[in-house]
Amino acid sequence: MGFTDSSLEPACLPQSDPANVAPPRRVLTFASEVEYLARCMLDCPDRETGGDCFGFWTHTGCPAIQYVIGPGPEARGTATFFTQDRGFLKACGDLLIHEYGLQHIGEWHSHHRLGLARPSGHDSDTVRRAMIGYGLGRFFLIIGTLGDAAPQLNGFLYERGPRPRPDEVEWMLLPGLSPYRERIGGRLDGWNYSPATPPGSVPANRLRLLRSVVAAKPEFKRHHWLNAEVGQQELRFYYDWIRDRCPGAEIRLGRDETVRILFELEDQPAALVYPPDYPAAGFFFVSQDQVVGPPLDFPAFVPPAGAASPLAQAPPLPPQAGPAD
Footprint on this chain of Zn ion (rule: CB under 5 A)? 120, 123
Which residue number, 120 or 197, has a Cβ lying nearer to Zn ion? 120
CB 128 to Zn ion: min, Å? 14
Which residue number, 127 or 259, has a Cβ lying nearer to Zn ion? 127
The residue at minimum Cβ distance from Zn ion is: 123
What's the first-to-final CA gap in the chain, in angstroms? Answer: 27
Cβ-contact 88, 75 below 8 angstroms: yes
Preceding omega of 279 cis (within 30 degrees of 0):
yes
CA 203 to chain centroid, in Å, comes to 17
CB 121 to Zn ion: min, Å? 10
d(CA 102, CA 228): 28
CB 119 to Zn ion: min, Å? 6
CB 154 to Zn ion: min, Å? 11
d(CA 156, CA 139): 9
d(CA 104, CA 4): 26
CB 163 to Zn ion: min, Å? 20
d(CA 64, CA 95): 18
The SS3 call for residue 39 is helix
What is the Cα Rg of the chain in Å?
20
CB 84 to Zn ion: min, Å? 12
What DSSP state is assigned to residue 38? H
Cβ-contact 180, 189 below 8 angstroms: no
